[in-house]
Amino acid sequence: MSIVPICHSRGVARFACAQSGCRECQDALLQANERLIHRVVLKQGIGGIEYQDLVQEGRIAMWRSILNYDPERGYAFSTYAWTAIYHRLWAYVGMAEQS
């Protein structure tokens, strides 16, 4: 039997915890924002590329957003993450078109 530490951070503190390396907080934030990834992918209407490939790129952008988000800058996390996902998707599309 293994003992798994349980992190009790919530709200903005969860971002600080995730940024310090807490996998539980990182996973919780990724899971809590999964719908945002799908909304950005669907809103962009990118054709010719597998939906799951775009979602995976969105997850990478979301993970980076979680690790770099600074709530003291005054932006909502969803706004920050949306922009990061949007740019990551279109960079992926550009790379796919060059291949």
Residue 60 has pLDDT above 50, yes or no: yes
Say whether pLDDT at 14 is over 50: yes
Give the rounded percent of residues in the chain with a pLDDT score beyond 90: 67
Residue 24 has pLDDT above 60, yes or no: yes
In-domain check, residue 1: no
State the virtual CA torsion across 12, 66, 37, 74 in degrees, nearest 10: 50
Q: Which domain holds residue 21?
A: 12-98
Q: Is the pLDDT of residue 6 over 70?
A: no
Residue position matching structure tokens 């999964």: 34
Burial code of 15-24, b = ≥16 C-beta within 10 A, e = fewer? bebbeeebeb
How many angstroms separate the CA atoms of 22 and 24, rounded? 5
CATH number at residue 31: 1.20.120.1810
Q: What confidence score (pLDDT) does residue 2 get? A: 44
Is residue 30 a contact partner of residue 66, using CB atoms and an 8 Å limit?
Answer: yes
